């Protein structure tokens, strides 16, 4: 069924971990390690969730940040929940590097330099998925 909501109709990236409430994806963005944590049900705002669900979602966001920091040792981590273009509750978890194309500005700002994304290790997806499973529990099937 098509709902005209990107995150209801598609995974939003390569699924690394999921449970009955949310999923973590490696986004197809031109920034190394850019992940999203996407709430499974279609809600627009954090306050649409119960307090326990908000706590669960943020626990997952923090786990993704921690795992990315350990794997990639970025200069800074950016965490954002915007949803202006896709009004489905999701968080961006973005490792930032001093030599990336937009640093120190937001990834949504104009480029400040030409720079290709840092290559990720060949085993990055499996390793990060394993880190998340260890931190959050086994991922549930689709």
Which residue, among 21, 29, 1, has the nearest Cα to 12 in the 3D structure? 29
Residue 102 belongs to a domain: yes
Q: Is residue 141 part of a domain?
A: no
Give the domain extent around 118.
6-136
Tell me if 1 is assigned to some domain.
Answer: no
% of residues, the chain, pLDDT over 70: 96
Residue 19 lies in a domain: yes
Q: What is the DSSP secondary structure assignment for residue 119, as one 8-state letter?
A: P
In a domain, 73, yes or no: yes
Verdict on whether the full-model pTM lies above 0.85: yes
What CATH number is associated with residue 30? 3.30.428.10
- Is 17:51 a contact under the CB 8 Å cutoff? no
Q: Is residue 142 part of a domain?
A: no
Per residue in 75-114, pLDDT (tens digit) is 999 999 998 899 999 999 999 999 999 999 999 999 999 9
Inside any domain, residue 107: yes
The predicted structure's pLDDT at residue 2: 58
- Cα angle for residues 136, 39, 129 (degrees, 5° grid): 35
43, part of any domain: yes
Mean pLDDT of 19-48: 96
Radius of gyration for the chain, computed over Cα atoms and rounded to the nearest angstrom: 15
- Domain total in the chain: 1
């Amino acid at each position: 069924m098509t709902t005209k909501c990107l995150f209801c109709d598609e995974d939003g990236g390569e699924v690394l971990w999921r449970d009955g409430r949310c999923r973590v994806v490696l986004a197809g963005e031109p920034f190394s390690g850019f992940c999203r944590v996407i709430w499974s049900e279609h809600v627009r705002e954090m306050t649409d969730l119960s307090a326990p669900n908000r706590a669960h979602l943020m626990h997952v966001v923090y786990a993704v940040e921690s795992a990315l920091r350990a794997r990639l040792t970025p200069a800074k981590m950016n965490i954002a929940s915007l949803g202006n273009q896709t009004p489905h509750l999701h968080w961006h978890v973005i490792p930032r590097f001093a030599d990336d194309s937009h640093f120190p500005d937001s990834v949504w700002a104009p480029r400040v330099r030409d720079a290709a994304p840092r290559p990720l290790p060949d085993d990055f997806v499996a390793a990060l998925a394993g880190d998340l499973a260890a931190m959050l529990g086994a991922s549930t099937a689709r």
